[in-house]
């Protein structure tokens, strides 16, 4: 009886596989010729531009150093991008993994379009994994003579994208996770934020707690030169070669949004202290040497060298921790290699503390399953684990990075070594960032910024996170504080039975390399 059922199940599985293979073959479309595209590179800084006149004198006084400003506030992060777009006179080079066509995404797209109307050359490079439903918008933006849009690792199947994975999985599984927004080659923003309402504190849904850096000077030049590598890479295709262009292409909508919530949001931003400091040139900048670390874009085609990867550059920095390593990563799957590194540090009496998402806060259950199996060995070695609560309020310099939120999810990616050396970027501590996606970030020394982020992580830690511990019998235990009382949990706190079942199922699958 059981043998008969097994045979029937096997036949069904094989039939489904055959159907999928046939669908993949029938729906496959080859990539277009990419050799005839136009070439362009970053433009020299115009010393007469308004942005240059504000920045160059300060740079001349500090040769070799870059000015940094931490954007841990979601509203400031949005304002900073709007300001760079409005200030640009010559170029805007913009690179993102996700760009939503929601309120903030549309406002930022309008700012790029308005810059192009002023004569600014705009180059927009988007990973194609998250542009579903945006073909008409991107075509209308790309139609402007001063704007060029390119798509990284594009899907040739535009209407039913998942079919593309059936015939081109190993290319489409590799994505460009980089994020940068650079004006006139002088000022840039890079870090963990994509473009969308949940990253900028707009709306009432789940908000991401995130980090970006404004960088002025040599670091910005490094970013725009790195942008050129990606722009010219074999994975970057002109949008017009991928997206069907209509002869009656509707123009891009530049009319101001009359929605009351949007108008209130913009008015609040205009009145912020950040805008005043920005306008008056009184932002508290930190001047230091900054190293841009970025993957070779050939990683998107599995043609890069491991020695050139972001991981190859940052792993030795963590390995040489003398006193304390603090890691903040929303998707934390250390693998055996990372587990061994953190365990060795802890065994050598170095403090290692990790903040990641709890199951109730994460937006990717399979990644949590990948992380969960490393909790016990890490805890046994002395590594401290903290998991963000789903209703956390993340305090920032001004009003707080998460407002009107129905939930919180960690999205910042940083680590701090010995309260001095920091990395802020797009890199998650997981196999996907290490081996599949391209990543970037800044590595620099700043005791002031390290102190600020470390204190922010430690301050009220018991209120915004669960401390994970392990009893002598190996049982995991979660502890937090609410309303002055200590709460304890023996199962993943505030998680549903369905999500815990999902973690269990995913833990059985050999998918760690995909996470």
- Reported confidence tier of residue 433, pLDDT bands at 50, 70, 90: very high
Tens-digit pLDDT profile for residues 92-121: 999 999 999 999 999 999 999 999 999 999
Residues 337 and 205 in one domain: no
Residue 471: pLDDT over 80: yes
**Domain presence at residue 6:** no
Percent of the chain whose pLDDT exceeds 70: 92
Q: Which residues pair with 417 in a beta bridge?
A: 325, 421
- The two beta strands, 187-191 and 147-152, are unpaired
Instruction: Retrieve residue 220's tokens.
Output: 């910005």
Instruction: Give the separation between CA 422 and CA 282, rounded to whole angstroms.
Output: 24
Residues 267 and 380 in one domain: no
Residues 215 and 307 in one domain: no
Cα separation of the two ends of the chain:
38
DSSP notation for 448-481: HHHHHHHHHHHTTHHHHEEEEEE-TTS-EEEEEE
State residue 474 phi and psi, 5-degree precision: 85, 5
Residues 54 and 136 in one domain: yes
Residues 104 and 221 in one domain: yes
From 73, 127, 411, 430, active-site residue: 411
From 179, 299, 313, 350, active-site residue: 179
Residue 81: pLDDT over 60: yes
Per-residue pLDDT, 402 = 29
Question: Of 380, 471, 367, which is closest to residue 429 (Cα–Cα)?
Answer: 367
From 100, 106, 177, 350, active-site residue: 177
DSSP notation for 63-111: TT-EEEEEE-SHHHHHHHHHHHHHH-SSEEEEEES-B--SHHHHHHHHH
CA distances 446 to 102, 202, 221, 453, Å, are: 36, 31, 20, 11
From 106, 368, 389, 413, active-site residue: 413
3-state secondary structure 287-330: EECEEEEECCHHHHHCCCCHHHCHHHHHHHHHHCCCCEEEEECC
Question: Of 315, 284, 335, 310, which is closest to residue 437 (Cα–Cα)?
Answer: 310
Taking residues 352-361, what's their average pLDDT? 94
Q: Tell me the longest C-alpha to C-alpha distance in the chain.
A: 84
From 168, 184, 210, 226, active-site residue: 184
Q: Give the structural domain span for 363.
A: 293-514
* Number of domain units in the chain: 2
Residues 426 and 441 in one domain: yes
Residue-averaged pLDDT of the chain: 89
Token look-up 């362009």 returns 40
Taking residues 172-189, what's their average pLDDT? 96
pTM of the model: 0.93
Residue 168: pLDDT over 80: yes
Instruction: Give the separation between CA 402 and CA 205, rounded to whole angstroms.
Output: 10
Instruction: Retrieve residue 109's tokens.
Output: 């797209």
Q: For residue 383, what is the domain's CATH number?
A: 3.30.870.10
Question: Of 30, 35, 97, 39, which is closest to residue 242 (Cα–Cα)?
Answer: 30
Residue 232: pLDDT over 90: yes
Residues 232 and 86 in one domain: yes
**Domain presence at residue 12:** no
Clarify whether 28 is annotated catalytic.
no
| Structural contact between residues 416 and 454, judged by C-beta atoms closer than 8 angstroms | yes
Instruction: Give the separation between CA 464 and CA 454, rounded to whole angstroms.
Output: 15
Instruction: Retrieve residue 315's tokens.
Output: 């792993």
Per-residue pLDDT, 398 = 42
**Domain presence at residue 1:** no
Clarify whether 491 is annotated catalytic.
no
Highest mean pLDDT among 36-40, 162-166, 218-222, 511-515: 218-222
CA distances 280 to 68, 213, 273, 285, Å, are: 17, 20, 11, 13
Tens-digit pLDDT profile for residues 382-415: 999 999 998 765 444 443 332 333 467 889 999 9
Per-residue pLDDT, 50 = 83
**Domain presence at residue 17:** no
Per-residue pLDDT, 3 = 67
Q: Enumerate residues 6+ apart whose C-beta is below 8 A from 105.
A: 99, 195, 196, 197
**Domain presence at residue 20:** no
Residues 255 and 317 in one domain: no
Q: What is the CA radius of gyration of the chain?
A: 24
Residues 160 and 267 in one domain: yes
- The two beta strands, 91-96 and 121-127, are parallel
Per-residue pLDDT, 403 = 32
Among 264, 286, 308, the domain-final residue is: 286
The three-class DSSP label of residue 493 is coil
Sheet arrangement for strand 212-216: 236-238, 147-152, 121-127, 91-96, 180-183, 187-191, 212-216, 66-71, 286-288
Among 229, 254, 286, the domain-final residue is: 286
Taking residues 313-326, what's their average pLDDT? 97
Per-residue pLDDT, 247 = 62
Instruction: Give the separation between CA 322 and CA 330, rounded to whole angstroms.
Output: 25
Tens-digit pLDDT profile for residues 363-373: 899 999 999 99
Taking residues 26-38, what's their average pLDDT? 83
Among 286, 313, 343, the domain-final residue is: 286
CA distances 449 to 368, 388, 442, Å, are: 29, 22, 13
Instruction: Give the separation between CA 77 and CA 469, rounded to whole angstroms.
Output: 35
Taking residues 326-346, what's their average pLDDT? 96
Residues 273 and 344 in one domain: no
**Domain presence at residue 19:** no
Q: H or E stretch including 504?
A: helix 497-507
Instruction: Retrieve residue 266's tokens.
Output: 């913009």
Structure letter (DSSP) for residue 346:
H
Taking residues 205-227, what's their average pLDDT? 92
For residue 302, count other CB atoms closer than 10 A to its CB. Answer: 12
Residues 477 and 509 in one domain: yes
Clarify whether 184 is annotated catalytic.
yes
Instruction: Give the separation between CA 409 and CA 361, rounded to whole angstroms.
Output: 5
For residue 63, count other CB atoms closer than 10 A to its CB. Answer: 8
| Structural contact between residues 202 and 103, judged by C-beta atoms closer than 8 angstroms | yes
**Domain presence at residue 7:** no
Residues 268 and 388 in one domain: no
From 46, 101, 308, 418, active-site residue: 418
Residue 274: pLDDT over 90: no
Instruction: Retrieve residue 334's tokens.
Output: 């250390």
Instruction: Give the separation between CA 295 and CA 305, rounded to whole angstroms.
Output: 9
Instruction: Retrieve residue 495's tokens.
Output: 């998680």
**Domain presence at residue 25:** no
Clarify whether 179 is annotated catalytic.
yes
């Amino acid at each position: 009886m059981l043998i008969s059922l097994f045979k029937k199940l096997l036949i069904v599985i094989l039939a489904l596989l055959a159907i999928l293979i046939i669908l993949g073959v029938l729906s496959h479309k080859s990539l277009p010729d990419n050799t005839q595209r136009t070439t362009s590179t970053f433009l020299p800084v115009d010393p007469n531009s308004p942005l240059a006149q504000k920045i160059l004198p300060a740079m001349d006084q500090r040769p070799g150093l870059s000015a940094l400003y931490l954007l841990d506030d979601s509203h400031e992060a949005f304002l900073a991008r709007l300001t760079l777009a409005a200030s640009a006179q010559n170029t805007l080079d913009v690179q993102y993994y996700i760009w939503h066509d929601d309120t903030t995404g549309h406002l930022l797209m309008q700012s790029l379009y308005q810059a192009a109307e002023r004569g600014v050359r705009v180059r927009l490079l988007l990973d194609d994994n998250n542009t579903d439903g945006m073909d008409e918008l991107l075509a209308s933006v790309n139609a402007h003579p001063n704007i060029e849009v390119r798509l990284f690792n594009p899907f040739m199947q535009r209407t039913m994208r998942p079919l593309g994975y059936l015939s081109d999985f190993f290319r489409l599984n590799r994505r460009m996770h980089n994020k940068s927004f650079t004006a006139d080659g002088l000022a840039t923003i890079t870090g963990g934020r994509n473009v969308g309402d949940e990253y900028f504190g707009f709306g009432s849904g789940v908000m991401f707690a995130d980090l970006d850096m404004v960088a002025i000077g040599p670091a910005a030049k490094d970013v725009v030169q790195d942008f050129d590598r990606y722009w010219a890479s074999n994975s970057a295709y002109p949008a017009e070669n991928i997206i069907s262009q209509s002869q009656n292409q509707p123009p891009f909508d530049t009319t101001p949004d009359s929605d009351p919530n949007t108008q209130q949001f913009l008015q609040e931003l205009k009145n912020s202290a950040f805008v005043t400091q920005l306008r008056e040139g009184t932002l508290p900048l930190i001047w230091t040497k900054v190293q841009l670390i970025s993957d070779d874009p050939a990683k998107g085609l599995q043609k890069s060298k491991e020695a050139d990867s972001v991981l190859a550059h940052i792993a030795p920095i963590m390995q040489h921790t003398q006193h304390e390593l603090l890691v903040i990563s929303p998707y934390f799957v250390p693998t055996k290699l990372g587990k061994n590194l953190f365990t060795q540090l802890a065994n050598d009496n170095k403090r290692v503390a990790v903040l990641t998402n709890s199951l109730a806060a994460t937006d990717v259950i399979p990644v949590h399953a990948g992380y969960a199996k490393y909790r016990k060995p890490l805890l046994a070695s002395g590594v401290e684990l903290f998991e963000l609560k789903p209703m956390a309020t993340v305090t920032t310099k001004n009003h707080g990075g998460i407002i009107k939120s129905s939930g919180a999810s960690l999205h910042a990616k940083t680590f701090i070594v010995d309260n001095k050396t920091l990395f802020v970027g797009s890199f998650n501590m997981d196999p996907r960032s290490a081996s599949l996606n391209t990543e970037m970030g800044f590595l620099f020394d700043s005791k002031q910024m390290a102190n600020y982020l470390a204190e922010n992580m430690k301050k009220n830690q018991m209120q915004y996170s669960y401390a994970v511990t392990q009893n002598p019998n190996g049982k995991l235990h979660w502890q937090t504080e609410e309303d002055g009382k200590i709460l304890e949990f023996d199962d993943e706190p505030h998680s549903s039975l369905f999500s815990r079942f999902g973690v269990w199922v995913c833990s059985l699958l050999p998918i760690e390399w995909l996470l």
